[in-house]
């Protein structure tokens, strides 16, 4: 894969990831753009000890533009976009409206100077990943070779962001569908470089540490072995990956894709593991789209080990989930879920898995 680094008119980095034989990337960004003005900060909730990001500048981000003005499509004469080239395979660029930025200025302090609620600059990095130049495409519509190129891109960016000073966790993800909250329909995902380890990952690391101390084995390894032995919740099984509905699924559609070998992050995957992931994931996505006879709105979230600590406790996996519980019905978070984080699922994990297998 060929990797070409260029810069947009406001100085943001854009990186093209191309298969052999692609044209040289030389197009210039002709737009007249003001500098990026990111003013993020993070505050530590004193009751939960969880960091919350404040990014008021994101209120003005691009919102549901018409298809002919999509900022993620290749540039056309008279219609420049975020991608100056007329075509691309996979492309990554710094988000113009980032939740976290390397350029944030400020010092650590506390709210109102009272010493109770710490405040720190929201330093990190947020990138957009465009999976294809086809505006009307989808991840499920990619070929295995195209998915493999995306996996290699995720690996490249995970390594790069993990090496940045202050970045504690790297999170690649895809949001798809208006029901999820997507405001740009072009097939794309994002990568966050957080200045802290996220609450979900912190909890999973604590559980993994306790389980390892008690049993001498990784908890995800035992979960994976149990799911493969039972088979009742397995959706797709490959040589190196198994996709299954978690036994305590929260969402009406939820699938975890887990590698058979413990690795901390995407860069640690072998060539064979990356190839097998492409095959297994496409089979999962196509079942998801067939489930209700319509494109499934979903979030696909990569769980990677923290960038700089507890890496031996992490077990890479991808979690896909959807708010759609029927073709025309959404799951809304009820008071128990939003208020107390106690989930109530309208279907059992076994029922979810059976429907996804049948959809194949």
- Any catalytic annotation for residue 188? yes
Do 167 and 195 contact (CB within 8 A), yes or no? yes
254 in Cβ contact with 320 (< 8 Å)? yes
Instruction: Give the dihedral of Cα atoms 83, 84, 90, 96; nearest 10 deg.
Output: -30
Q: Which of 186, 188, 303, 317 is catalytic?
A: 188
Q: What is the DSSP string of 52-82?
A: EEE-GGGGGS--S--GGG-TTSBPBTTB--S
Region of residue 177 (phi > 0: left; psi between -120 and 50: alpha; otherwise: beta) = left
194 C-beta neighbours (distance < 10 Å), count: 26
Residue 267 backbone phi and psi in degrees, to 5: -60, -25
CA distance 61 to 98: 9
Across the strands, what pairs with 5?
A: 15
Tokens coding 156: 């490249």
Where helices occur in the chain by DSSP H, the ranges are 144-162, 199-215, 219-230, 271-291, 335-340, 349-359
| Measured distance CA(220)–CA(218) in Å, rounded | 6
Task: Return the active site residues.
Answer: 188
């Amino acid at each position: 894969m060929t990797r070409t680094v260029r810069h947009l008119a406001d100085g943001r980095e854009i990186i093209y990831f191309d298969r052999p034989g692609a044209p040289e990337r030389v197009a210039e960004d002709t737009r007249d753009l003001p500098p990026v003005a990111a003013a993020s900060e993070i505050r530590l909730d004193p009751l939960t000890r969880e960091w919350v990001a404040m990014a008021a500048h994101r209120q003005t981000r691009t919102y549901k533009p018409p298809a002919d003005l999509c900022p993620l499509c290749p540039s056309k004469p008279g219609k420049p976009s975020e991608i100056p080239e007329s075509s691309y395979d996979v492309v990554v660029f710094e988000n113009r409206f980032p939740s976290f930025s390397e350029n944030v200025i400020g010092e650590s302090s506390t709210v109102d100077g009272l010493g109770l609620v710490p405040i720190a600059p929201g330093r990190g990095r947020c990138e957009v990943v465009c999976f294809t130049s086809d505006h009307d495409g989808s991840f499920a519509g990619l070929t295995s070779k195209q998915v493999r190129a995306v996996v290699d891109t995720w690996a490249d960016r995970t390594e790069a962001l993990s090496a940045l000073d202050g970045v504690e966790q790297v999170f690649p993800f895809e949001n798809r569908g208006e029901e999820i909250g997507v405001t740009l329909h072009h097939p794309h995902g994002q990568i966050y470089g957080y200045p802290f380890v996220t609450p979900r990952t912190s909890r999973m690391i604590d559980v993994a540490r306790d389980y390892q101390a008690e049993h001498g084995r990784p908890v995800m390894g035992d979960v994976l072995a149990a799911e493969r032995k039972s088979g009742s919740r397995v959706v797709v099984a490959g040589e190196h990956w198994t996709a299954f509905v978690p036994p305590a699924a929260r969402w009406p559609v939820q699938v975890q894709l887990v590698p058979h070998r413990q690795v901390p992050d995407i860069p640690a995957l072998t060539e064979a593991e990356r190839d097998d992931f492409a095959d297994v994931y496409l089979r999962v996505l196509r079942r998801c789209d067939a489930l209700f006879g319509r494109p499934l709105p979903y979030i696909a979230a990569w769980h990677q080990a923290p960038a700089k600590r507890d890496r031996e406790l992490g077990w890479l996996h991808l979690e896909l989930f959807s708010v759609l519980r029927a073709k025309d019905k959404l799951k809304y978070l009820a008071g128990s879920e939003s208020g107390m984080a106690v989930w109530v699922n309208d279907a059992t994990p076994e029922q979810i898995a059976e429907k996804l297998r049948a959809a194949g």
